[in-house]
Amino acid sequence: MIDRARKEGHAGHWGSGGTTQSYVHVDDLAKLFCLAAEFAPHGAILHGVADDVTQRDLARAINRMIGTDEHTDSLSLLQMLGIAAETVANIGGPFTPPPTAASGISLSLNKRLSSEKTRKLLDWSPNAPTSATTPRSARTRNDRPRTSTLKEHIVDLQLTEKIIVITGASSGIGRTTALTVAAEGAIPILVARSTDKLEKAKAEIEGAGGAAYVCTADVTDPAAPDRVIATVLEQYSRVDALVNNAGGLHIRTSFLETTDEQWLATFDLDFHAARRMSRAAVPAMLASGGGSLVHVSSDSGRLPEIGNVDYAAAKLPLLALSKSLATEFSPQGVRSNVVVSGPTRTELYDRPGGFAEQAAKIWGIDKEAAIDRMAARLLTRRLGRAEDLANVIAYLVSPLSHQVTAAEWSVDGGIQRQV
């Protein structure tokens, strides 16, 4: 349709509401279809927008995206992008404009694109292929200009090919963090005891077009950290970031009934593993010019309870460790920060015999009632999700946070309410 319009010299046009007509040159229409063709395979969805200000903001963004004349009717642009996206998503069907979109149209993605894919998308030129059936392999670098006016509006975490070691990566926050940074172009090094779970996480990352490396290890083994880092250096020659996420919680009934063995095991997993991993990773970071350490702690460090006496005591020292590391090594380019998680509903909570069932047993209520009781303590009135932590961690390991060190980031639903 676009090719035919080019030959006949027509412009694309649709009504923008009522009887008003607005015309856009066919080359600009081609750009819209190129944009929609790239969005559609990644789950682009359309949402109604009732706010006129939001409509104008969206229109300005689309103008910058495709370079149309600044006098082009805003709502027509929004309608055309919606038409293009719907048409691309329903290849083979008739091209029929939808009813007048008096409320406007906006575009959002429900699947995060990697920075590389995003760059490719934003670099499309007016002459790029317009058919959604054109294979990506057929789209050459020469089809795209070197710059894009939309790039200034995209947050690129600059993690492409960064080597990020993540402990406790087989489930929960660690696994979600691995998926998050991989979507940004990083190569997560997946560290945990379960090879099967790590391989599944790696397969999911690779299935989405990313890359990951599995390094099975028990970080409570004093020799494991040096072995992990040596393996990473052998494979990739550097370490850009370390996420000390490995940890575990067992409900205790009383301080008096918590044994020495339980105390030592908890400190090995929740504190000493992070200390040893940091000691192994920092020299590699210094050798390559810098890096980022992120330690996942818990609100329990400041809000201990009877049932987490050893866990709370083990998590609090991570704050001091991180500040000490930041003080010594930030001048040399290695930053250190802590992410403090509040109650977060992960496998640690939900698995059989997990934290939720343990708490329910102590409180004499069922599992879901225990979850509700925990959530009621939060200002947000819901438990956190692994994604809530992963997004903050991804920022802290990225170069965008280069001025952030010796800091403590609470992702806890407001439970601590610190001043």
pLDDT in tens, 362-389: 889 988 888 888 888 888 999 999 999 9
User: Domain check: are 289 and 311 in the same one?
Assistant: yes
Active site residues: 311
Report if residue 416 sits inside a domain.
Answer: no
Q: Is the pLDDT of residue 154 over 80?
A: no
User: Domain check: are 13 and 65 in the same one?
Assistant: yes
The DSSP letter of residue 344 is B
Q: Is the pLDDT of residue 200 over 90?
A: yes
User: Domain check: are 8 and 47 in the same one?
Assistant: yes
User: Domain check: are 68 and 135 in the same one?
Assistant: yes
Report if residue 419 sits inside a domain.
Answer: no
* 217-256 tens-digit pLDDT: 999 999 999 999 999 999 999 999 999 999 988 888 899 9
Burial of 223 (0-12, 13-18, 19+ CB in 10 A): exposed
Report if residue 114 sits inside a domain.
Answer: yes
Closest CA to 240 of 311, 165, 176, 304: 165
Report if residue 404 sits inside a domain.
Answer: yes
Report if residue 391 sits inside a domain.
Answer: yes
User: Domain check: are 95 and 210 in the same one?
Assistant: no
User: Domain check: are 144 and 215 in the same one?
Assistant: no
The pLDDT, as a whole number, for residue 3 is 44
DSSP percent split of the chain into helix, strand, coil, nearest 5: 50, 15, 35
The DSSP string of 10-70 is -EEEEESSTT-EEEEEHHHHHHHHHHHHHHGGGTEEEEE---HHHHHHHHHHHHHHHT--T
Report if residue 103 sits inside a domain.
Answer: yes
Name residue, tokens 């939001």: 54
Q: How many structural domains compose the chain?
A: 2
Q: Residue 44 — φ and ψ, nearest 5°? A: -65, 140
Distance CA 400, CA 333 (A): 14
pLDDT level of residue 345 (50, 70, 90 thresholds): confident
Q: Where does a domain end: 153, 174, 195?
A: 153
User: Domain check: are 76 and 192 in the same one?
Assistant: no
Mean pLDDT computed over every residue of the chain: 75
Percent of the chain past pLDDT 70, that is, above it, reads 63
User: Domain check: are 318 and 389 in the same one?
Assistant: yes
Burial 316-353 (b: 16+ CB within 10 A, else e): bbbbebbbebbeebeeeebbbbbbbbbbbbbebbeeee
User: Domain check: are 149 and 191 in the same one?
Assistant: no
Report if residue 417 sits inside a domain.
Answer: no
- The β-bridge relationship of strands 187-192 and 241-244 is unpaired
Taking residues 141-157, report their average pLDDT: 49
The pLDDT, as a whole number, for residue 417 is 85
> Would you say the pTM of this structure is higher than 0.75?
no
* 252-297 tens-digit pLDDT: 889 999 999 999 999 999 999 999 999 999 999 999 999 999 999 9
User: Domain check: are 232 and 357 in the same one?
Assistant: yes
Residue 208 CA: distances (Å) to CA of 35, 153, 179, 186, 189: 20, 24, 9, 13, 16
Distance CA 174, CA 390 (A): 8
User: What is the extent of the structural domain holding 20?
Assistant: 2-153
Q: Where does a domain end: 113, 133, 153?
A: 153
Report if residue 266 sits inside a domain.
Answer: yes
